[in-house]
Amino acid sequence: MKIKNILLAICLIMNLATAAQNVTVNSVTVQPGTQSIIIVKLTGATDCIAAGFTLELPTGLFQVNSSEIDFTTNLDKNFVADHVAVPNLLNNKNLKVAIYSTTNSHFVGGNSENNSTLLKVGFKAYNMAAGTYQCKVKGIELVNSNHELTQLSNASFTITVNAISGDVDCDGTVTAADITALYNYLLNGNETYLSTSDVDGDGTITAADITAIYNIILGDIGKKYCIDTGNELITTDKISTLYNKILEDDEGDEDDVDPHVGATRN
């Protein structure tokens, strides 16, 4: 009976130690095209030399092309020793991260509530419509100095994307590229940016949305041409004449406002 009680006590202590280990992630609010940071925290890791997990994120959060992946992963130097983080982006959505030490060093900040930041993931949200997205950290595994594996419960968090009126392609600015994106839908049926194409908010996607984008762009640079649009909707013929004038003028004056750049909306 005495041996049984000792074994039960050992199991209880081990369970309490495991329960104290916890991974949390901050919820963030982002604007397309601007730098934001997801912070992954680990507490209660008194004996931990490595960790692995997958961040389940919304499609479009990371911009991937042939030359680069637009995100960063940085370990907090106050938490780790000689550890490295190895990220692997899966299907432009899930970010799998392995954190380990070649010398089996412990996480130096794992037992401190005030020093619990393990990893910072920097990103710019692309191709994401406005709204709040449910995200989670899953497949969380910790390895102790005896190379024993502990699995933790999933951790949930949210990413809220604020809309920029007229930013159809979700790159953080309103430019001629957004007009092109709308034309691609109206003329070619390309639905890549369908969720952000109703610029005027009338429930349909029409040429009026293109006009609305022109109003946004020209409203920012129109003062240069002494244009006072007020609440008047710029018509197609005015757009054609004025926009051509802006483009022609821009070719001869490099110091003036570039109409291709547009303006970021707050």
Domain ranges across the chain:
22-161, 176-252
Residue by residue, DSSP assigns 43-94 as: E--SS-SEEEEEEE--TTSS-B-SS-B-EEEEE-TTT-SS-EEEEEEETTTE
Does an H or E element contain 152, and which? strand 149-152
247 phi and psi angles, rounded to 5 deg: -65, -45
Distances (CA, A) of 122 to 37, 95, 140, 248: 4, 12, 20, 39
Statement: 22-161 belongs to CATH 2.60.40.680: yes
Does an H or E element contain 18, and which? helix 2-20
pLDDT tens for the chain, 266 residues long, are: 555 444 444 444 444 444 478 899 999 998 877 788 999 999 887 889 999 999 998 876 765 543 445 678 899 888 888 999 999 888 767 899 999 988 989 888 655 555 688 999 988 776 677 789 999 999 999 999 999 999 999 999 999 988 788 888 877 788 888 888 888 888 888 888 887 888 888 888 988 888 888 888 877 544 444 444 444 444 445 555 555 655 565 555 444 444 333 333 34
Spatial CA neighbour of 63 closest among 114, 110, 122, 8? 122
Spatial CA neighbour of 212 closest among 230, 200, 223? 200
Q: Are 190 and 184 in contact (CB under 8 A)?
A: yes
Distances (CA, A) of 261 to 16, 95, 110, 174, 194: 57, 32, 46, 8, 22
Q: Quote the Cα angle for 251-252-258, to 5°.
A: 50
